[in-house]
Amino acid sequence: MDEIAKNVFIEERFPGVTLGAIVQSRGLIQIDAPPAPEDGRAWRASLMGMGNGHERVLINLDSHPDRTLGVRAMDCTIIAHEKTARAFQNRPNTFKAQGDETGANWEAIPGLGSVRWAPPEISFASQLSLHWSDTPVILESHPGPTEGAIWVILPEEKVAFIGDAVVKGEPPFLAHANIPAWLETLDYLQGGDFKGYTVISGRNGSVSPQAIRSHADSLKKIHSKIEKLGKKKSITPTVTDKLADSILKEYKAPVAKHQQFSQRLRFGLRNYYARHYISASRQVVDE
């Protein structure tokens, strides 16, 4: 666990997600949870004794299984955006690991079995502030990766946890994305309001301004290519798969990750196209 500002910590040793912990006088604010049960137990153990207060709360930055599968094991109140809460309403009560091949990190966890979801107990639409000490913790809606994506912002410490708004060295998750909204979010992130901030990606830890610009440029290229496809009358999965293969080449994926990243892009592009370019009656994806 690394302390990136006073009483603000991140943990990057668990696959699939960068976790956060904010120690305040009232208690401990956690950001996301590892998907593997043994990692969840290890994370809980490392948090024991942190903070002077006894309160515990966990914030989900979006509804992705990589950061929400292990939430129930954290045994605390859960906060998320209202659209993330709605996504859970559209899911079965129990998650069954059947290998959806979405390119997510949880799919590489052996013996995951069935897991009961832990839906948010507190949700909000635009902004929510936690005042657990002298300095506030602000939760803000910043859609793009999903409609329910949020950031956790600490203005005094100049730290922002941004979830999947930026991913470094790997392709983004597109299945539930809105790329134009995502690009607006990244423009805001690169503006003056976040000058001097430590920006924490939900998968890659601290990211530099250059990494943010690079990610935005990659999204613009992806969106341009999808828009060209969208002008065609009919598109088969083979066409979006070919697009996925061409995009993957730009990421220079390591051999060990090639299949996972390829599947992530194929799944994401098929469903992105279905949601944004096919009539609502034929949409097949829900969060």
CATH superfamily of 2-209: Ribonuclease Z/Hydroxyacylglutathione hydrolase-like (3.60.15.10)
d(CA 262, CA 45): 35
- DSSP line for 2-22: EEEETTEEEE--STT--EEEE
Give me the pLDDT at residue 79, please. Answer: 97
- Beta carbons within 8 Å of 156's beta carbon, 6+ residues apart: 135, 136
Q: Cα-Cα-Cα-Cα dihedral of 253, 255, 259, 262, to 10°?
A: 20
Joined tokens for residue 62: 């979006």
Kindly report the pTM of this predicted structure. 0.91
Over its C-alpha atoms, the chain yields an Rg (Å, rounded) of: 19
Nearest Cα to 66, choosing from 127, 22, 23, 112?
112
Burial class (CB in 10 A: 0-12, 13-18, 19+), 66: buried
Per-residue pLDDT of the chain (287 residues; tens, 9 = 90+): 899 999 999 999 998 899 999 999 899 999 999 998 899 999 999 998 786 778 899 999 999 999 999 999 898 999 999 999 999 888 877 776 665 688 888 888 877 777 888 899 999 999 999 999 989 999 999 999 999 999 999 999 999 999 999 999 899 999 999 999 999 999 999 999 999 999 999 999 999 999 999 999 999 999 999 888 877 766 666 788 888 988 998 888 788 889 999 999 999 999 998 888 774 334 444 44
- Beta carbons within 8 Å of 219's beta carbon, 6+ residues apart: 172, 179, 182, 183, 186
Cα–Cα distances (Å) from 281 to 233, 238, 242, in that order, read 16, 22, 26
Q: Which residue carries 């292990």 as its tokens?
A: 70
Give me the pLDDT at residue 3, please. Answer: 96
Indicate the pairing of strand 77-81 with strand 55-59. parallel
d(CA 97, CA 113): 5
d(CA 182, CA 177): 8
